[in-house]
DNA sequence: TGCTCCTCTCCCGTCCAGCGGAAAGCTGGG
DNA sequence: CCCAGCTTTCCGCTGGACGGGAGAGGAGCA
């Protein structure tokens, strides 16, 4: 009878941490049984581990019994140097763009075959919140993603072209169409998405480049989302390009010292 | 010979998590031995736990061998609902203030006897970075802190007055002086710090209030930091008050639905 | 160059704390 | 009222955590 036969192999610690993997931006509040199921942990074990995680402050218990991420992880997350240099350098430029245009501006980097949004200044007009800081989207699904893809190594491009899952009803799913778009982006130095018009916004994105010995190196993409009733997208290109060049210049300078 | 005699009592999990406690905004990169010392963990044990934490992604190893907070914790931290509602409601107001004044604007809440900065928009002129989002400062040491203190329950005020440690050379350390300042803040509805002039900036802070049955309830403080060469602080009061009222109103409205 | 000091890594015997099935609380809906 | 689903407590078994020791790898100094 009674339990016993300890864990199936993984270490205690990674088992506890695995619990945290159940949490996600699309599932920020979870009940005990949901967590147990999502993390593949026996209910009782999950219960105990949750107790410890809560005790430490990694999680907090809501009045309704569900768990959510606690202060401690917020504190620690804030000091994570994820693209720290880029974010610090870029922040003033994003704010400047926001001040002059009043629109939503965001900055993303490539992480594998995803675009990772690392900074964002929200505009007043409510646009869909898909580019939340920390969120990841497939490279082929957004303007900044395509810009990053246009500058990515060939093997990455091929991997993306090989698996074009639709994200919105308007996502390109034809590899030939996307390849043509990428060529166009490389030629014009900016991407312009009309696909997302249906979401109530149009967007524009440009590459951020750092000058290096051996040619420029794209490290990020700068995007702006404009409400649909303003169609003066093209007039924004110079401002965006200037900001992108400014970020690249400052980044190169700050790296010289290091 | 050989080790053995397992842990002194605490659970495995909390021991591993305790390792993370060694990290701090003032010490974001640590070596193995620093971590072992800071967390009071035997060197060998710390080494193993660090391996597990790194394997999961809570920490990453830098080329020089030091550890720092990794992507995973960043991701999780971003979905922590720490003052989520307040931050979402306040963000547009902070941006508006920044757009019109170009100065650094920040928002803080009270957490015990500390002011916790939860949102910030940095101005172009570089002011000291003490109000980084996530950082905590004693209530008596800053403008927003004093505003929060002025609205805090009596027991909190007494606790603070009882232990006035100096933070900068200009921090008030005399309880009587601070008590008079607090009375002044309650009367005028805003705080104005001249103490921090030496740091190269002057600041202004107002309470953010939510209307409730049973009188207004201060929940946060809104502050602005102005470079010293602009002395038109008083002209900012109306704009700040309007923003603070706006935040309070929106917050009350969004809570009605809930 | 040889020495010392410091930090990191691997090894391994002991022993205890994690494990999780079972069953008892606790809600809330029908 | 009864039942279904979720949460919490209980507890004996066992396998993995523990950490001292030794040695490798470097940095600094004479």
Q: Which residue is nearest to nucleotide C18 (CA to C1')?
A: A6
Query: Does residue A18 sit in helix, strand or coil?
Result: helix
- Strand D: which bases are under 7 Å from protein Cβ? 6-21
**Fold for the domain defined by A84-256:** Beta-Lactamase (3.30.450)
pLDDT, chain B, mean? 86
pLDDT, tens only, B190-211: 998 764 555 556 788 888 988 7
Q: What are phi and psi of A194, to 5 degrees?
A: -105, -15
pLDDT, tens only, A61-73: 998 889 999 999 9
Quote the DSSP letter at residue A70: -
pLDDT, tens only, A134-165: 999 999 999 999 999 999 999 999 999 999 99
B124 to A92: CB separation less than 8 angstroms, yes or no: yes
pLDDT at residue A107 greater than cutoff 90:
yes
Closest CB to A80: pick one of B49, B69, B80: B69
pLDDT of residue B210: 85
pLDDT of residue A6: 47
- Chain A positions in Cβ-Cβ contact with residue B13 (cut-off 8 Å): 12-13, 16, 49, 52-53, 56
A64 part of contact set with chain B, CB < 8 Å = no
Interatomic CA distance for residues A191 and A182, integer angstroms: 9
Query: Does residue B69 sit in helix, strand or coil?
Result: strand
Q: Which residue is nearest to nucleotide D16 (CA to C1')?
A: A11
Closest CB to A95: pick one of B20, B73, B121: B121
Map out the domains of chain A as residue ranges.
12-77, 84-256
Query: CA-to-C1' distance for A16 and D19, Å?
Result: 22
pLDDT of residue B138: 95
pLDDT of residue B6: 46
The residue behind tokens 């159940």 is: A22
Give the count of Cβ contacts less than 8 A between chain A and B. 128
pLDDT of residue A129: 65
Is the distance between the Cβ of A26 and the closest atom of strand C smaller than 7 Å? no
Q: What are phi and psi of B136, to 5 degrees?
A: -120, 140
- Cα pseudo-dihedral A194, A195, A198, A199, rounded to 10: -100
pLDDT, chain A, mean? 87
pLDDT at residue B150 greater than cutoff 60:
yes
- Of B101, B148, B135, B136, the closest CA to residue B121 belongs to B101
- Of B192, B200, B210, the closest CA to residue B250 belongs to B210
Interatomic CA distance for residues B258 and B249, integer angstroms: 15
Q: Which residues of B177-207 are buried (b: 16+ CB within 10 A; e: fewer)?
A: ebeebbeebeeeebbbbebbeebebbbbbbb
Percent of chain B past pLDDT 70, that is, above it, reads: 89
Q: Looking at A118-127, A193-202, B48-57, which range is the least confident one?
A: A193-202
pLDDT of residue B84: 92
Highest mean pLDDT among B48-52, B70-74, B127-131: B70-74
B12-77 shares its CATH topology with B84-256: no
Instruction: Assess contact for A64 and B119: CB atoms under 8 A.
Output: no
Is the distance between the Cβ of A48 and the closest atom of strand C smaller than 7 Å? yes
Q: What confidence tier does B123 reach under pLDDT thresholds 50, 70, 90?
A: confident
Query: CA-to-C1' distance for A85 and C9, Å?
Result: 32
pLDDT, tens only, A32-52: 999 999 998 889 889 989 998
Closest CB to A13: pick one of B12, B78, B134: B12
Instruction: Assess contact for A65 and A212: CB atoms under 8 A.
Output: no
Q: Which residue of B has its CA nearest to A121?
A: B95
- Chain B positions in Cβ-Cβ contact with residue A71 (cut-off 8 Å): 80, 82
Distance between first and last Cα of chain A: 62
Q: In terms of CATH architecture, what is B12-77?
A: Orthogonal Bundle (1.10)
B81 to A49: CB separation less than 8 angstroms, yes or no: no
């Amino acid at each position: 009878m009674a339990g016993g036969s300890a864990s199936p192999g993984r270490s205690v610690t990674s088992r506890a941490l695995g619990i945290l993997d159940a949490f996600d931006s699309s599932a920020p509040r979870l009940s005990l049984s949901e967590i147990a199921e999502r993390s593949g942990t026996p209910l009782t074990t999950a219960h105990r581990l949750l107790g410890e995680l809560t005790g430490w402050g990694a999680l907090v218990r809501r009045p309704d019994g569900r768990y959510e991420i606690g202060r401690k992880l917020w504190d620690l997350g804030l000091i994570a140097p994820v693209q720290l240099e880029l974010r610090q350098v870029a922040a003033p430029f994003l704010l400047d763009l926001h001040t002059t245009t009043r629109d939503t501006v965001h900055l993303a980097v490539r992480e594998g075959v995803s675009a990772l949004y690392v900074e964002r200044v929200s505009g007043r007009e409510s646009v869909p919140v898909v580019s939340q800081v920390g969120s990841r989207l497939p490279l082929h699904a957004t303007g900044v993603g395509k810009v990053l893809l246009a500058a990515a190594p060939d093997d990455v491009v091929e991997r993306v072209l090989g698996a074009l899952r639709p994200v919105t009803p308007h996502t390109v799913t034809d590899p030939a169409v996307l390849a043509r778009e990428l060529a166009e982006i490389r030629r014009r130095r900016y991407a312009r998405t009309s696909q997302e018009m249906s979401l109530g916004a149009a967007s524009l994105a440009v590459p951020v480049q750092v000058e290096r010995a051996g040619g420029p190196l794209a490290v990020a993409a700068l995007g702006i989302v404009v409400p649909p009733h303003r169609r003066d997208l093209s007039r924004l290109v110079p401002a965006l390009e200037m900001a992108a060049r400014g970020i690249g210049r400052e980044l190169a300078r700050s790296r010289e010292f290091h």
